[in-house]
Amino acid sequence: MGRPLTEAELVERAKRGDQDAYGELVHAYQGIAFRTAYVLTGSAAEAEDAAQDAFVKAFYALGRFRPGAELRPWLLRIVANEARNRRRSAGRRTNLALRAAADPLSGGAAPSPEANLLAGEQQARLLAAVDGLPDEQRDVVACRYFLELTEEETAAALGLRKGTVKSRLSRGLERLRRELEADGA
Amino acid sequence: MPELENALRAVGANLDYPAAPDLSGTVRRRLAEGERPREPFLRRRTLVVALAVLAVAVGAVLAVPQARSTIRDWLGIGNVTIRYVEELPPVDKATSDLGLGERVSLKEAEDRAGFDVQVPRVDDLDDPPKVYFREEDRQVGFLYGSEDDPKLLITQAGVGGAVEKLANIDATNTEFVVVEPGYRGVWLSGEKHGLFYPGAGREEPFRLVGNALVYENPSGVTVRIEAEISRDEALRIARSMH
């Protein structure tokens, strides 16, 4: 049995039309792709369609993928484009929701320290405030903190310069802080 | 704001994500069935600006040379004023100069423009555009293709400066379109219309423009998208701009 193929090798094979190799890449990134589309659209159905279409488009665009570049941000950019275009076509975004309070995190695992920081009601208020941000700020905040993308990945996914990510993030956080203060949170 | 950032991470950790579907099987099936994404429109169509072609396109309108026309109606969208006239100025006054100003980097354009420059995120546009900045009205221009053979031109300008368009009232079609919920733009098609740069008098050379989408975004930036594409394709580009 040979060693598993590296990502670079899978990409090279996929570029030559190997759909099995591409299927492995889809499998590796489908989770983050779906979550990214879901955070941007707020709809499971739209997110699934967006991620699926994005992977089909990405297969045919592999010829433009630079050898040696990182695949994940490149894929996320295509996914984010699809998701935001669908959101615009729909003319609305469905607000995100939190897990029910009694629902344990990830199959009964202990909540992360961050998840324990805020009571459920405060989390719901903060999430509503994020959903109320202008899309350009909300998307950056959601990518950075909900999806835990790095600034570089956020910039790549949203097709922005890193400086623009920083400035939108700064404006978004400032606006959230003001709103939460006004709300007495 | 580390406290707020930590709180946001906590919210992210507690989001109620639906179970991720298995996409690899569906994607492989679609690829096996030979499904392909839509052909990039820029490979199907080109924006033709050669004056000879323009002369044919507007020949009927300009059969009788006339430097000035009676304004029958007008319409304002952001910093663009569209004046509807019975006849356009003579075609020999037209220029192919796109009037985009100087070539700059995107960062320089953003710094000098003073507004949040938005970039189209359409997969079809596979090359980064050439970026221009025009000082007179602080206009940022994105050019796909070349100045001699433009495929797609997108301009963005904040308040100040004024672009004037002269359109033939009988031959240029004007259609109101909803670019985003809550704000509108216009789609100009049919006979080509004349575009005058800021500060240029009516006797100055103008540029003939074909299909164009003009709208003002919520930040007060006026966006013009010019290409020989359909209204829906122009809207798709407009809606992809972030």
> What are the CA-CA distances from residue A154 to residues A100, A139, B4 (Å)?
28, 9, 19
Specify whether the CB–CB gap between A26 and B24 falls below 8 A: yes
Residue B50 Cα, gap to closest chain A Cα (Å): 31
Put simply, the chain A residues between 2 and 61 with a CB less than 8 A from any chain B CB are 19-20, 22-24, 26-27, 30-31, 33-35, 38-39, 44, 47-48, 51-53, 55-57, 59-61
Q: Whole-angstrom Cα distance, residue A70 to residue A28?
A: 14
For chain B, say whether A185 makes contact (Cβ under 8 Å): no
The parts of chain B modelled with pLDDT lower than 70 are: 1, 36-72, 93, 126-127, 159-161, 182, 197-205
* CB pair distance less than 8 Å for B24 and A34: no
Closest CA to B103 of B126, B78, B128: B128
Which pLDDT tens digit goes with each residue over A53-70?
Answer: 999 989 988 887 888 888
pLDDT band at A121 (very low <50, low <70, confident <90, very high): confident
- Its pTM stands at 0.56
Of the candidate ranges A104-108, A147-151, B198-202, the one whose mean pLDDT is the lowest: A104-108
CA A57, CA B35: separation in Å to the nearest integer?
Answer: 10
Identify whether the C-beta of residue B156 lies closer than 8 Å to the C-beta of residue B226.
no
Q: Does residue A99 have a pLDDT over 80?
A: no
A141/B8 Cβ within 8 A: yes
CA angle B190, B196, B199 (to 5 degrees): 165
> At B89, phi and psi to the nearest 5?
-60, 165
Give Cα A89 to chain centroid, integer Å. Answer: 19
Please, is A127 exposed, middle or buried when counting C-beta atoms within 10 Å of its C-beta (0-12, 13-18, 19+)?
Answer: buried
